[in-house]
Structure 1
Amino acid sequence: MSFISLFRHQKRFLNYKVVYKGPFDYKRDHTKAYKYPFGINKSAIEEEMNQINELRQHELKQVSPFHLVWRHKDIYDMAWHERYVLSHLGLHQKEPNLRVVLPNTPHFNDLLWKVKHLIQLMPIAFPDGVPTDRDVGSVKLNTNTGVMNVNPNYKVSNERLDSAKSHDIFYGRYLREYLKWSSGLFGKSLPVSPVIDLDGTHIEKYKRKMQNAHKHRHHFYNN
């Protein structure tokens, strides 16, 4: 095969477009099931459209003020304007199926409509009523069913929160030095040299020293 014939063959292959022509009316006049291209059943489409129109005519009595939204498609190979909208909605992370709560307002509904093919939406139900500022800490949202419950038993007491807090002295340089000396691999606790303070008094001395320095530094910066 010469170069010219090969070029003509490739040109014909690239220009050729496969066009599927379904059973039109002029091909199948004896049947009423298929009246559109690609074998679409007109009666089935009419039934589905009638159901959709009936749902649209229903009046919404109890409208949820919030939506539970998540993205079910990968962000890879996505248009820039879709990523821009998803960034405003908080759905631009790489991991899909991350739940986000959005208010049911015209602004957010307009943004959701632009990326409706990428997301799934569920209205949040409030069986115990919409939570207020007093219910902060006693609210639990079920991300699978979309039900938000308000129960005072969920709230953590202030005593437990205070007990869970660690002192600022256990951060930064002091934490590194404390772990260094308590590991037994540095200074007086090296395996090669004899251990002088078997009871760990050098650790307590260094702890008191760093606590005093920490208090002095905070007193100096705060005043």
Structure 2
Amino acid sequence: MSNVTRMLLGGVRHFTKRYKGEGGVKYGLITYYPRTPDHVDPPIEPTKLLMIQRVKPFKGNPYWQKNVLTLLNLHERSSAIAIVKNTPEMNSMLWEVKHLIKVTPIKCPNGLPKDGDLNGTYLHENGTFMVTHKVAIDPSRIEATEKFTNDWRRLDKETVQRQLRLKWLNPL
């Protein structure tokens, strides 16, 4: 095939120049070029836990990807989530199936729950783990509530209904 035919069929080939400016910062094998010379990245603290959800179908994937999804227990329902630790071993497993899953870091704005405080926790879809700490109830309030419920003179729903029904049946 001649060069003219290749050009007509293949279009024009564009060559781009890579930016090889000065001021790059070396991080191992990677050279990072900041936008401004005095630019400093903010410190990042990685989260301890990750929330994983499968977004693509399980069917039609190679066996090694199915094995990873099965290990994460994401092979049954697409709405199921898995909570995993943010470790290098787990990240390498997730890297194999990154196109099949959605990874959300879990943030704990109220701190981690204490022992026996798990009933007041909720994990949002955006990865926010909310903890409502148990509130200590004043013993005098508990005593006052018990005294009120055990009082024979109080008007509860059943007593009021019974008395009103009797008045309705015998008005005089």
Quickly name the TM-score band, shorter chain normalised: 0.5 to 0.7
Whose strand proportion is higher, 1 or 2? 2
Equivalent position of 1:21 in the other structure: 10
Unaligned runs of 5+ in 2: 1-8, 20-31, 35-39, 136-172
User: Among the aligned pairs, what percent are the same residue?
Assistant: 26
Alpha-carbon spacing, 1:53–1:69, altered in 2? closer, same or farther (3 Å): farther
Question: Does residue 77 of the first structure (1) align with residue 60 of the second (2)?
Answer: yes
What's the secondary structure of 1:125's corresponding residue? Answer: coil
Question: Does residue 121 of the first structure (1) align with residue 121 of the second (2)?
Answer: no
What's the secondary structure of 1:152's corresponding residue? Answer: coil
Question: Does residue 145 of the first structure (1) align with residue 126 of the second (2)?
Answer: yes
Instruction: Give the Cα–Cα distance (whole angstroms) in 1 for the partners of residues 53 and 33 of structure 2.
Output: 27
Instruction: Give the Cα–Cα distance (whole angstroms) in 2 for the partners of residues 53 and 70 of structure 1.
Output: 34
Matches within 5 A, 1:86-97: 86-93=69-76, 95-97=77-79
What's the secondary structure of 1:133's corresponding residue? Answer: coil
Deviation, structure 1 residue 22: 3.6
Instruction: Give the Cα–Cα distance (whole angstroms) in 1 for the partners of residues 41 and 80 of structure 2.
Output: 31
Equivalent position of 1:221 in the other structure: none
Native 8 Å contact 2:122 2:129 kept in 1: yes
Instruction: Give the Cα–Cα distance (whole angstroms) in 2 for the partners of residues 114 and 59 of structure 1.
Output: 29
Q: Max radius of gyration: which structure? A: 1
Supply the AA of the counterpart residue of 1:145. N
Give the structure-2-normalised TM-score: 0.54
Deviation, structure 1 residue 65: 0.5
Supply the AA of the counterpart residue of 1:117. H
Alpha-carbon spacing, 1:128–1:71, altered in 2? closer, same or farther (3 Å): same
Instruction: Give the Cα–Cα distance (whole angstroms) in 1 for the partners of residues 78 and 62 of structure 2.
Output: 16
Give the structure-1-normalised TM-score: 0.43
Supply the AA of the counterpart residue of 1:89. L
Whose helix proportion is higher, 1 or 2? 1
- How many residue pairs are counted as aligned between the two chains? 110
